[in-house]
Amino acid sequence: MTTDGTWLLRCAVVMPDHLHLLIELGARLPLAKAVQRLKAKTSAILRSAMLEWARGFFDRKLRPDDELLALFLYIYLNPYRAGLVNPVESWRPYYCCVDDWIWFKDQLDQERPIPVWLEL
């Protein structure tokens, strides 16, 4: 959970024109306000790179019967499916929290690289 209780980032991948975040929303802010806060805190950095946030965002609320593995795989494999990286290479802008990485890393196809900073 962020230090202020906004959310827990479970996993994420930064793509050239978008990003995927799997978050566990805290009780502090509703989703729209949490995203607004993220964009506000990162806009200056993006502007310095001649980038900007698009208006709005797409969200999907998870249901108790949703398969977490499928969501983690979708996020992890996104740059591979897009042809941005070869199967034997690592996609550096990927993150998985340590607690989730403990179970998730064993679910990966052995041909897919394990991000170096997540090896336990």
Contact 12, 21 (CB under 8 A): yes
> Which residue would you say has higher pLDDT here, 1 or 108?
108
Residue 2 has pLDDT above 90, yes or no: no
Beta bridge partners of 8: 24
pLDDT digit string, tens, across residues 30-89: 989 989 988 999 999 989 988 888 888 888 888 888 888 888 988 998 998 899 988 778
Q: What is the DSSP letter of 65?
A: T
7 SS3 class: strand
Residue 115 has pLDDT above 90, yes or no: no
Tokens 């890393």 identify what position?
105
List the beta strands (DSSP E) in the chain.
Answer: 7-14, 19-25, 94-96
> To the nearest whole number, what is the mean pLDDT of the chain?
85
pLDDT digit string, tens, across residues 5-36: 888 999 999 999 899 999 999 888 998 998 99
Report residue 102's pLDDT band, with 50, 70 and 90 as the boundaries.
Answer: very high
| Residue 113 tokens, joined | 């690289």
Instruction: Please report the pLDDT score of residue 111 as a whole number.
Output: 60
Instruction: Please report the pLDDT score of residue 118 as a whole number.
Output: 46
